[in-house]
C-alpha cells in the first residue's frame, strides 16, 4: 500500500473573527498556518458573547438595535460597496 502524506484536518479552534480581522490579530493563523492561540480564540469568543449580552440587557427595545443594523447596512450598500466594486473593476 503506498504511503500518503497525512491529511491536515480543520483547525481545532476555528476563529470567530472574519479573515481580515483575524489577519490583524493573528497573521499566521489567517494564512493557513497554525491555528489561532487558545487565549485569542477564547478572548474573542467571550468578548463577543459579553457584548451581545450587554446590548440585550441595556438596550430598551429590540427595534433600536434593528434600526441601527438597518442604517449601517444601508450605508454600506449605498456608499461603500459601489466604490469597492468600481475599484476592483467588476
Q: Answer yes or no: is 30 within a domain.
A: yes
User: Does the pLDDT value for residue 90 go beyond 60?
Assistant: no
Torsion of CA 26, 15, 88, 81, to 10 degrees: -120
pLDDT digits (tens, 9 = 90+) for 43-85: 989 999 999 999 999 999 999 999 999 999 999 889 888 887 7
Q: Answer yes or no: is 3 within a domain.
A: no
Q: Answer yes or no: is 10 within a domain.
A: no
Are 72 and 79 in contact, with CB atoms under 8 Å apart?
no
Q: Answer yes or no: is 5 within a domain.
A: no
Q: Is 29 exposed, middle or buried (0-12, 13-18, 19+ CB in 10 A)?
A: buried
pLDDT at 74: 92
Which residues constitute the domain of residue 42?
Answer: 15-58
pLDDT digits (tens, 9 = 90+) for 3-29: 555 445 455 556 556 666 666 666 666
Number of domains in the chain: 2
Are 52 and 30 in the same domain? yes
Q: Structure pTM?
A: 0.51
Q: Answer yes or no: is 76 within a domain.
A: yes
Are 53 and 77 in the same domain? no
Are 54 and 25 in the same domain? yes
Are 25 and 47 in contact, with CB atoms under 8 Å apart?
no
Amino acid at each position: 500500500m503506498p504511503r500518503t502524506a497525512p491529511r491536515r484536518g480543520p483547525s481545532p479552534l476555528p476563529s470567530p473573527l472574519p479573515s481580515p480581522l483575524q489577519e490583524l490579530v493573528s497573521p499566521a493563523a489567517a494564512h493557513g498556518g497554525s491555528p489561532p492561540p487558545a487565549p485569542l480564540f477564547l478572548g474573542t469568543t467571550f468578548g463577543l458573547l459579553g457584548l451581545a449580552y450587554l446590548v440585550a440587557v441595556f438596550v430598551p427595545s429590540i427595534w433600536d438595535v434593528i434600526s441601527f443594523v438597518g442604517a449601517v447596512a444601508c450605508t454600506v450598500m449605498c456608499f461603500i460597496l459601489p466604490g469597492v466594486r468600481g475599484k476592483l473593476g467588476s
